[in-house]
Amino acid sequence: MQQKLALQIGIVLFVNLAVVFALTQLTYRPIVRLSKLSKALADGNLDILRDASLHTHDEIGDLQAAIKNNVSIIDMKKLIENVN
């Protein structure tokens, strides 16, 4: 009886840990990608935007799209200034 209970508790703990790990990775990876994108942009690497793709359709994805849009506008302004 105690062995069966210990096994059930072990299985529940394992499943809980697996779910927590999966959810953490789903949240953590997009934030790390966005952080790397922001650092590259701060260093002046605008080419990173061509390689950056949106993988999420949540707030992180919206933030990445906004950054890409703002940098595109800045890039266009620099191009127009060079034409004048």
DSSP string, the chain: -HHHHHHHHHHHHHHHHHHHHHHHHHHHHHHHHHHHHHHHHHTT-TTHHHH------SHHHHHHHHHHHHHHHHHHHHHHHHH-
Quote the pLDDT of residue 19.
97
Amino acid identity at 24: T
Are the beta carbons of 48 and 37 closer than 8 angstroms?
yes
All residue ranges of the chain with pLDDT < 50 are none
Quote the pLDDT of residue 11.
97
Quote the pLDDT of residue 62.
83
Residue written as tokens 């949106």?
54
